[in-house]
């Protein structure tokens, strides 16, 4: 019996080396690999000339160097539309073009909204960015079926809310005793304006000099950060090494201006590390224990750090009550949705 085909279309940049493919976003590894266990996955993305870190295993991948080749490959996949599903990850200029082409052939894809594009585009290029995204979003809503990690991202459009996760049993066991004699902050994510890391670094410079900050990011982002004695840049290579890094630090910082369902938050909570978020994304707290909301100023940041240190054991005990989503459950949600979509 042949597997049902799924064509995944993404704006992500993927590098190729010796017939192997690599990405920086764990979603681009986890989702195609997981779906490929029961479906025949074909992934179309953009070419990166810079080596990425996570190897994508056992997935058919095609890359496009520019928008014209991207369009050509989209048209090629449309010819194979019989008994196939189309799954578009995020709305961007590239994927928006793909959605328009699919609509011409009466193909209604599933579009996965991983974050609030209105806020992201606004934080990058201002009001005009929000206007541009609004046009793409409204047109996409006409020709697609939405799924999203949060209800508010759907903007009152019809869609299914899912619970993304990379967590497996490794994250839920072999806990290490935490050292809180010295404050060790951790940030895991991309070095982008909308992620709030540059804003946070301005605050960090004014914190107690005995505090350290570890930043886990891709090697290509290292040049964007000014190296100092109390800032450590780490280029992560594996899931096991990432778990070790969470365990070596005692407070996770998520300084983003906009977030939908930040999976790094759940990673930190799974390792029983308290998380500080700023008010702009206080919605990510939901019913999770161990998420501390902070104003984006030095006084409140110091206050929240001291609160965590003074109540560390109590906060950790509360965090054990969290019921976190898992990769297995997330993939089952996606398979059900893709299988049921007409």
Q: Which residue has the higher pLDDT, 314 or 339?
A: 314
pLDDT of 342 > 80? The answer is no
Tell me: do 117 and 178 sit in the same domain. Answer: no
Tell me: do 129 and 261 sit in the same domain. Answer: no
The pLDDT, as a whole number, for residue 2 is: 65
CATH number at residue 181: 3.40.50.2000
Q: Which residues make beta-bridge pairs with 118? A: none
The pLDDT, as a whole number, for residue 341 is: 45
pLDDT of 134 > 90? The answer is yes
The pLDDT, as a whole number, for residue 104 is: 94
Tell me: do 140 and 84 sit in the same domain. Answer: yes
Q: What is the mean pLDDT of residues 264-281?
A: 94
pLDDT of 146 > 60? The answer is yes
Each residue's pLDDT tens digit, 14-48: 999 988 999 888 888 889 999 998 889 999 999 99
Tell me: do 35 and 132 sit in the same domain. Answer: yes
3-state secondary structure the chain: CCCCEEEEEEEEEEEEECCEEEECCCHHHHHHHHHCCCCEEEEEEEECCCCCCEEECCCEEEEECCHHHHHHHHHHHHCCCCCEEEEEECCCHHHHHHHHHHHHCCCCCEEEECCCHHHHHHHHHCHHHHHHHHHHHHHHHHHCEEEECCHHHHCCCCEEECCCCCCCHHHHCCCCCCCCCCCEEEEECCCCHHHCHHHHHHHHCCCCCCCEEEEECCHHHHHHCCCCCCEEEECCCCHHHHHHHHHHCCEEEECCCCCCCCHHHHHHHHCCCCEEEEHHHHHHHCCCCCEEEECCCHHHHHHHHHHHHHCHHHHHHHHCCCCCCCHHHHHHHHHHHHHHCC
Tell me: do 154 and 13 sit in the same domain. Answer: yes
Q: Are 113 and 146 in contact (CB under 8 A)?
A: yes
pLDDT of 128 > 60? The answer is yes
pLDDT of 99 > 90? The answer is yes
Query: Quick one: which of 98, 103, 140, 97 has its CA closest to 118?
Result: 140
Tell me: do 139 and 263 sit in the same domain. Answer: no
Q: What is the mean pLDDT of residues 264-282?
A: 94
Q: Provide the terminal-to-terminal Cα distance of the chain, rounded to the nearest Å.
A: 21
Tell me: do 132 and 268 sit in the same domain. Answer: no
Tell me: do 311 and 274 sit in the same domain. Answer: yes
The pLDDT, as a whole number, for residue 259 is: 82
Place 82 in a pLDDT band, splitting at 50, 70 and 90: confident
Q: What is the mean pLDDT of residues 191-209?
A: 87
Tell me: do 154 and 11 sit in the same domain. Answer: yes
pLDDT of 124 > 70? The answer is yes
Tell me: do 139 and 228 sit in the same domain. Answer: no
User: Residues near 29 by Cβ (< 8 Å), separated by ≥ 6?
Assistant: 23, 54, 55, 56, 57
Q: What is the mean pLDDT of residues 150-156?
A: 90
Structural domain of 257: 169-319
- Count of all residues that appear for the chain in the document: 342
Q: Are 146 and 154 in contact (CB under 8 A)?
A: yes
Tell me: do 84 and 210 sit in the same domain. Answer: no
Each residue's pLDDT tens digit, 215-232: 987 665 666 677 777 888
pLDDT of 208 > 90? The answer is no
Tell me: do 77 and 107 sit in the same domain. Answer: yes
Count: domains in the chain: 2
């Amino acid at each position: 019996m042949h597997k049902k085909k799924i064509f995944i279309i993404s704006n992500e940049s993927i590098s190729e080396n010796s017939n192997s493919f690599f990405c920086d976003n764990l979603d681009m590894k986890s989702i195609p690999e997981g779906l490929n266990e029961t479906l025949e996955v074909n992934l179309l993305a953009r070419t990166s000339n810079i080596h990425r870190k996570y190897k994508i295993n056992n997935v058919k991948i095609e890359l496009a160097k520019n928008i014209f080749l991207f369009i050509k490959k989209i048209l090629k996949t449309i010819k194979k539309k019989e008994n196939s599903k189309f799954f578009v990850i995020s709305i961007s200029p590239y994927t928006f073009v793909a959605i328009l082409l699919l609509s011409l052939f009466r193909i209604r894809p599933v579009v996965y909204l991983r974050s609030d594009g209105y806020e992201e585009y606004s934080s990058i290029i201002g009001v005009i960015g929000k206007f541009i995204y609004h046009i793409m979003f409204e047109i996409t809503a006409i020709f697609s079926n939405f799924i999203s990690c949060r209800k508010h991202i759907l903007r009152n459009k019809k869609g299914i809310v899912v619970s993304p996760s990379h967590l497996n049993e490794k994250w839920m066991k072999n806990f290490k005793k935490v050292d809180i004699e010295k404050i060790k902050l951790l940030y895991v994510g991309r070095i982008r304006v909308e992620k709030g890391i540059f804003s946070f670094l301005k605050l960090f410079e004014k914190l107690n000099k005995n505090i350290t900050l570890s930043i886990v990011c891709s090697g290509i982002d290292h040049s964007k950060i000014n190296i100092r004695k109390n800032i450590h840049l780490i280029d992560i290579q594996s899931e096991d090494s990432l778990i070790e890094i969470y365990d070596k630090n005692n407070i996770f910082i998520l300084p983003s201006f906009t977030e939908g369902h930040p999976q790094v938050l759940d990673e930190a909570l799974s390792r029983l590390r308290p998380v500080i978020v700023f008010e702009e994304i206080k919605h990510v707290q939901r019913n999770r224990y161990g998420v501390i909301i902070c104003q984006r100023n030095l006084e409140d940041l110091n206050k929240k750090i001291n609160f965590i240190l003074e109540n560390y054991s109590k906060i950790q005990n509360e965090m054990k009550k969290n019921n976190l989503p898992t990769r297995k459950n997330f993939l089952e949600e996606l398979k059900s949705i893709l299988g049921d979509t007409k």
